[in-house]
Amino acid sequence: MDSILVRGNGPLSGDIEIAGAKNACLALMPATLLSDEPLTLTNAPRLSDIKTMTALLASLGAEVSSLQEGKVQAMSCHGEINPVADYEIVRKMRASNLVLGPLLARLGHAVVSLPGGCAIGARPMDLHTTALEALGAQIELKDGYLHAKVAGGRLKGAVHKMRFPSVGATENFLMAASLAKGTSVLENAAREPEIVDLADCLNKMGAQIEGAGTSRIEIQGVDRLNGATHPVVTDRIELGTFMLAPAICGGEVTCLGGKLSLVESFVAKLEQAGVSVEENARGLTVSRKNGRVQAVDVTTEPFPGFPTDLQAQMMALLCTAEGTSVLEETIFENRFMHAPELIRMGANIEVHGGHATVHGVEQLKGAPVMATDLRASVSLILAGLAAEGETVVSRVYHLDRGYEFIERKLSGIGAQVERIKS
């Protein structure tokens, strides 16, 4: 397996381009199953997860072409559709479950394997199945597969309140309800920018969705959807990750295409820690020029709260902060697996259940460390940028699922980062 070699080398400066959102693109791509007309996505990220979704859609009968070096995904699903999403593909990525709603809406039946992904805690499918069952689906789990069907062949509008604002379940509900008969209302819906992006795309395809970005979304079902061209929203998690590079190392970096509205709660914590963030026509400019950052407490929450997908990276920053920080993880129960690796680098961290107490140290030391999941991978690279000596991060196949050309992007702002081929 490849590894990443990082050498700590002081302040960073320059511009770094932020890609389209992985989590948005992975929800937008299955929308092609809802129509027999072409769907084209621009500003697509170039990631292994996108390739996995491409393989999954192709196995279901969709035609997917990657254009302009992967930044455009051109899709069409005008032929015969296979209703079975096989385990061998689905096991590689959690977002594979997002084909369930579109298949039910288009065909009235589907067989979808339970998904895989990072081992960061339980992410139960019952939030998805209960949402779809509210629309009239009958779903049974057999031999690791969800067997779903709709009596009469077409979903029916309904009111459903989720017990937790799940992003994936909200996305599945939106896609399914777009072709359901009648009006559907989803209460306690997820409010993430990726939800708004999906609703915008579906509306371009002819759907009638109102309220995306709020906790109550109303969908008026239509008989069919047409094709569309849609740009993928900026990746707020990649944005936040790269904003942390100058925060950890010092210097000044502009994240091109960044918008404050995508990361407001995150920026509030950065500013509390003593990091400057300024929005301008080019993006977000981040700088840290005056010594160590200050300790801050962080609690992960659904959007618009602090993102769980930036918790590991924020911990890397707080390892060298002045004072003691407490991080509370409320979304996933196993999301502090990066802490022991940071401790190998000299961090002072205590983990008790869903809380991690970080006592800041003046200097981290380079060490061999192992990535445990996608966001943990990049947190160790960020820590390596601030460490004395060399850090080697192994098992970085996780990294390629969520960050495109990370060595190139970090090298472009002065970091010493290189990939070691296995």
Q: For 139-195, write each residue's pLDDT tens digit.
A: 998 988 999 999 999 999 999 999 999 999 999 999 999 999 999 999 999 999 999
Residue 143 is labelled as binding a ligand = no
Judge contact between 5 and 417, C-beta under 8 A: yes
| Bridging pattern class, strands 12-17 and 251-256 | parallel
Q: Are residues 206 and 239 in the same domain?
A: no
Number of domains in the chain: 2
277: tokens are: 């963030």
Q: Coil, strand or helix: which one is 189?
A: coil
Which listed residue (25, 118, 201, 249) is catalytic?
Answer: 118
* Single pTM value for the model: 0.93
98 has binding-site annotation: no
- Residue 124 is assigned to a ligand binding site: yes
Of 231, 254, 284, the domain-final residue: 231
Same structural domain for residues 245 and 144? no
Known binding residue 126? Answer is yes
Q: At 215, which CATH number?
A: 3.65.10.10
362-408 confidence digits (pLDDT tens): 999 999 999 888 888 999 999 999 999 999 999 888 888 889 999 99
CA distance 293 to 329: 21
Instruction: Mark which of 178, 208, 231 sits at the end of a domain.
Output: 231
Say yes or no: 222 and 252 in one domain.
Answer: no
* Helix ranges (DSSP H) in 60-188: 87-90, 100-107, 126-134, 167-178
Q: Select from 186, 202, 231 the last residue of a domain.
A: 231
pLDDT of residue 256: 97
Residues 9 and 43 in one domain: no
- Distance (Å, whole) CA 384 – CA 258: 24
Q: Which amino acid is at 156?
A: K
- Mean model confidence pLDDT for the chain: 94
Whether residues 306 and 199 share a domain: the answer is no
Q: Which two tokens stand for residue 290?
A: 């005056």
List, for residues 238-265, the tens digit of each pLDDT value.
999 999 999 999 999 999 999 999 999 9
22 carries a ligand binding annotation: yes
Range(s) of the domain holding residue 277: 3-18+234-420
214 and 78 together in one domain: yes
Residues 294, 205 within the same domain: no
DSSP letter string, 145-170: EEEEEETTSS-B--EEE-SS--HHHH
Q: Are 138 and 43 in a shared domain? A: yes
Is residue 94 part of an annotated ligand binding site?
yes
- Whether 77 is catalytic is no
Q: Are residues 14 and 101 in the same domain?
A: no
Q: Are residues 253 and 189 in the same domain?
A: no
Residue 124 — pLDDT band, cuts 50, 70, 90? Answer: low
* d(C-alpha 336, C-alpha 73), whole Å: 34
Q: Rounded to whole angstroms, how far apart are CA atoms 179 and 335? A: 36
255 φ, ψ (degrees, to nearest 5)? -90, 105
Phi, psi at 43, each rounded to 5°: 60, 35
H or E segment to which residue 13 belongs: strand 12-17
Same-domain status, 275 and 364: yes
* Residues 383 and 412 placed together within one structural domain of the fold: yes
